[in-house]
Structure 1
Amino acid sequence: MKTVQLGAVVLRNYINLSPVALPDKRIADLDFKPLGGGSGMIGLPGDYTPPSRFVRAVAFSKTARSTSSGEEAMYEVFRILDNFNVPLGAAEGSGEVKTSGMRSATQWTTCSDTKNRVIYYHTQHNRRVRRIELDHIDFAKPTELVHLPLDREKTQDIEDVVPISK
């Protein structure tokens, strides 16, 4: 079966998904109301298998908000892509040979602003968004291969927003 046909078969099971909340329903003398916002997405699969992640990708990309700038679009893309991160230990499997230093978890997430020629990324160790501005790289002058670590340090900064009282 072709990939496109397979995708359509998988999505067929989720045609009821909607960004609109489910309507209230009255049965006999009982009123039923949705549990809250997002009830139109009841049934959206949440596991880490490729078909479930595919269904979520379609649902979230179809309901993405419009943005007014490249930077806002980048944050919207990360908001969507972060729904597909596989946490450490969630997909290692049992009985599999584990390779030292390799993880099946999401190690980094990227998005590209093709208009402004910028690549953005964050890693599993540091959620701060970093950028690579391609216009600042001279591709006409080949040099030796440069290796840069994804994280200078595998730490996350935390901002304390409570003022210190003396």
Structure 2
Amino acid sequence: MCTSITLQSEDKLNFFARTMDFGFELNGLPIAIPRHYASTFHFEGTLKTTYAFVGTGQKIGNDYMFADGVNEKGLAIAELYYLNEASYQTSPVEGKINLTQDEFLTWVLGHVASIDELKEVIKQVEMIGVSNPLLSVMTPLHFIVSDRTGKCVVVETNNETLTVKDNPVGVMTNSPTLEWHLTNLNNYLSIQPTNYASKELDGYTIKPFGQGSGTYGLPGGLTSPERFVRATYMKTYAEKGKNESQALNSIFHILNTVTIPKGVNIKDDGHNDYTQYRAAFNLNSATYYFNPYYTQEVFSVELTEDLCSKDDATVFSVSQDFSVTKLN
């Protein structure tokens, strides 16, 4: 379970954001990977990054695994669970770039500069289903991608084939497919930020109970379709902000509407499925903003030239303590 959105501020800065909702403790931290950093891929062997990037990840063995990030060219991507829908190749294909579902995001961040380039290079890529070394299952994934132009696409597997789909609303959650979620929005034509007018029924006047009548029927549950509709509505009507700080404030308020507290969503195995962190990315400045569950504080990492040109990855620690600013 995850929700991701894009947003453009009034001064034309483009942002990308997500919640990471999961029942297994991922312990993700902000990590910056420099240019020319060598990683070992399951089928492709050692590959070096063309572009530096920063995102949320952790070290697995000798390499880092990421769930989201933005690179120095302003391309951002996040992976989201795609249960009962993901369909992978079972073996590598000769002459193609063969990536596991868990490597795809890292490879994109390190080698792709824009959505236009992604649409071309995806023709050379095959996604091979392999058991995730951390979870010991073959993770079903799809991906939402945005860049500095504000374009947004979703990458999904259809009959074992990678497909890049234009995303006109800039929102994604989990299963079903993007097309299904877009069609489902037709069920919510009546949702609006203004109140409904009073009506007369055979001479009897019915009136709204109070402010907010235009949102009657807006889904409030935690399922993927409900979160998709809710996030689309909030993103569409929320004030975008005049600058970066205002836009980020708006983004985190929007994410609040799809953030899952611990204890309210229990999996069949008894584990809490909750929002372990929220992340936002300024695609213009390649700046990453990270908010872990245990604090309301937001931490930032700008992808500076110093980080881009380091010899090794940089792992940042963050406070897990809830903080309060005392005024007296």
Deviation at 1:64, TM superposition (A): 2.0
Contact 2:307–2:314, Cα closer than 8 Å, also in 1: no
- Letter in structure 2 aligned against 1:62: T
The answer on 1:33 being equivalent to 2:207 is: yes
Give 1:108's aligned residue.
Answer: 277
After superposition, what is the alpha-carbon deviation per residue over 1:21-80, rounded to whole angstroms, capped at 9, x for unaligned? 111223456543322322111101111111100110111111121321011101111110
Specify which of 47, 50, 65 is matched with residue 224 of structure 2: 50
Q: Which has the larger radius of gyration?
A: 1
Give 2:186's aligned residue.
Answer: 12
Specify which of 285, 293, 300 is matched with residue 124 of structure 1: 293
Contact 2:276–2:293, Cα closer than 8 Å, also in 1: yes
The answer on 1:147 being equivalent to 2:321 is: no
Give 1:157's aligned residue.
Answer: 323
Structure 1: which 5+ runs fail to align? none
2-structure distance, mates of 1:22, 1:8: 25
1:18 is paired with a residue of what secondary structure? coil
Q: TM-score, normalised by structure 1?
A: 0.80
Q: What is the percent sequence identity of the aligned residues?
A: 24
Question: In proportion to residue count, which structure has more helix?
Answer: 1
Q: 1:6 to 1:30 in 2, by over 3 A?
A: same
Please tell me the root mean square deviation across aligned C-alpha atoms, in Å.
2.3
Structure 2: which 5+ runs fail to align? 1-157, 159-175
Question: In proportion to residue count, which structure has more strand?
Answer: 2
Q: 1:28 to 1:147 in 2, by over 3 A?
A: same
Give 1:92's aligned residue.
Answer: 266
